[in-house]
Structure 1
Amino acid sequence: MSATADFVETVTIDTFDSLVLKSSTPVAVEFMSYGCEHCRLLEPVLQSVAESLGSQVAIARVNIAADQELASRFDIRGTPTLVMFLNGVEVGRAVGPVPTVSGVREAIVGTFDGDARS
């Protein structure tokens, strides 16, 4: 196992509501699968974006293979899908975002622009 820090928190059906929907911080959730090649490419990018955003925006992941109920609840049709939540409400979505730091950062921060930093 890698000794590097994990800046993206894994959430499950049991923790989703408390960590995402009830969060006072904007939250971007990656709905992913460990068997998805695009998700694996996106992982280091998400880590970098999460580290750079610090406490400004929380980034979490849901493994849809383990939490199919959450994937169904949020109508996830493909992976990776980023869903942005603010005050418990979905405010944006990016399906298969370009796996670059600038592309992912813009997908996340652009959604919250004016909300996350006010």
Structure 2
Amino acid sequence: MPIAADFVKSVTGETFAALVLASSEPVAVEFMSYGCEHCRLLEPVLQEVAETLGAREAVFRVNIAVDQELADRYEIEGTPTLVMYSGGIEVGRAVGPNPSVKVLWNAVTRPFEEIAS
């Protein structure tokens, strides 16, 4: 059975600043945990959104079970939490399980559309 492409890349405390905060492109970060049922339900939808966005925006994930310091620094109180960044600054946040492509698409792209206008 072929392995599906992973369009959502993992970042850690060591790579977060370079890949997220220093990015010249808009970035969405899912703070998640592999033990979180809602995160597992969200994964295929987030993969679809990330694949559709392609190179326009980057979509990353942070496993808060491994990188608790990042979760604390960005005040993540529950999973899944999507945080959108532009120019290293948080420009949007969506918390909780909303596993539909439309909801995620809006959560990920709306903050960047508002900045552009």
TM, length-normalised to structure 1: 0.94
C-alpha separation between the residues in 1 aligned to 2:109 and 2:103? 10
Give the superposed CA RMSD: 1.5
Using the TM superposition, give the Cα deviation of residue 4 of structure 1 relative to its aligned residue in structure 2, in angstroms: 0.8
Identity %: 65
Kindly tell me the number of residue pairs found equivalent between the two proteins.
117
Q: State the Cα distance separating 1:115 from its structure 2 match.
A: 3.7
Paired residues for 1:1-118 under 5 Å? 3-115=3-115
Letter aligned with residue 51 of structure 1? E
Could you tell me which amino acid in structure 2 is paired with residue 16 of structure 1? F
Q: Given the superposition, is the C-alpha separation of residues 83 and 2 from structure 1 closer, same or farther in structure 2, using an over 3 Å criterion?
A: farther
Partner-residue secondary structure (3-state), 2:69: helix
CA drift of 1:2 comes to: 5.8
Q: Please say if residues 97 and 107 of structure 1, whose CA atoms lie closer than 8 Å, have aligned partners that are also in contact.
A: no
Structure 2: gaps spanning 5 or more residues: none
Partner of 1:41, secondary structure, is: helix
Superposed structure 1 runs of 4+ greater than 6 Å apart: none
**How far apart, CA to CA, are the structure 1 residues paired with 2:10 and 2:62?**
6
Q: Which whole-Å CA distance do the structure 1 matches of 2:22 and 2:114 have between them? A: 20
SS at match of 2:29: strand
